[in-house]
Amino acid sequence: MRIEVGLDLLHFALAEADCLDVLEKYRGRCEPTFLFYAIKDEALSDGDECFSHGKDIGEDEDVVSSQKACTMAVIKPDAVAHGKTDEIIMKIQEAGFDILTNEERTMTEAEMRLFYQHRAGEEAFEKLVRHMCSGPSHLLILTRTEGTEDVVTAWRTLMGPCDPNVARREQPESLRAQYGTEMPFNAVHGSRDREAAHRELALLFPNLKFSDKDIEVPQGGEADGTAGPSEALGIPVDAD
């Protein structure tokens, strides 16, 4: 028996029946057989990993377990069409966010009507739905590795006011100020609170399951009707 390819953690060995006396009885009637096995090494595990992606036994659902809260972010079709996706992703990472998932997808009308159902009575609803279905978007699941600010609030702060014209006046360094043009072409979307984040993630990533921690509403937040972190910082509570 000899090792054809060898690495520290991977070996491929070849046993030839014609050369090994112990395999004499198999000569002339054996076929190639491959055996793969894995050894779990704690040294290979990242103890600080906040996001795991696996399968439950007997289920078809992917499982997301996180020790940190997540939020939904969308780079909209207008920003993607203008070739700004990579720039926006770089700014997101520079701001201290971890991108757990980045998927390019063209939304369906049915998905967007559910996604924006809380705005169904507004005059701009149909235009918003058409825009979101007009081309590919990038769907991101974000968590935060730096600072103590809630991930939902931190992402909404980075986006800036919903209207790009307002954003350019009030928060010129925000993403909507830099990459948005006019409503509804404001480049990015962010969940308005933890509850909305959970609903949006469940709608657009139905095969993912999130831990309860991901949907907690911070104390003193929107759950009890008092001003939440977005209102306290003067961030408009919109969802587009």
Same domain, 69 and 150: yes
DSSP assignment of 82-98, as one string?
TT-HHHHHHHHHHTTEE
Write out the catalytic residue numbers: 189
For residue range 66-100, list pLDDT tens digits in order: 457 899 999 999 999 999 999 999 999 999 999 99
With a cut of 80, say whether residue 43 has pLDDT above it: no
Q: Which two tokens stand for residue 95?
A: 């701001």
Same domain, 170 and 116: yes
Q: Please tell me the least confidently modeled range out of 50-64, 139-153, 164-178.
A: 50-64
Domain span holding position 14:
2-42
In a domain? residue 30 = yes
Tokens 């003193």 belong to 220
- State how many domains the chain has: 2
- 59 and 6 in one domain? no
The pTM assigned to this predicted structure is 0.65
Q: What is the CATH classification number for the domain harbouring 93?
A: 3.30.70.141
Mean local confidence (pLDDT), 208-233: 43
Co-location of 28 and 119 in the same domain: no
CA-to-CA distance for 186 and 141, rounded, in angstroms?
19
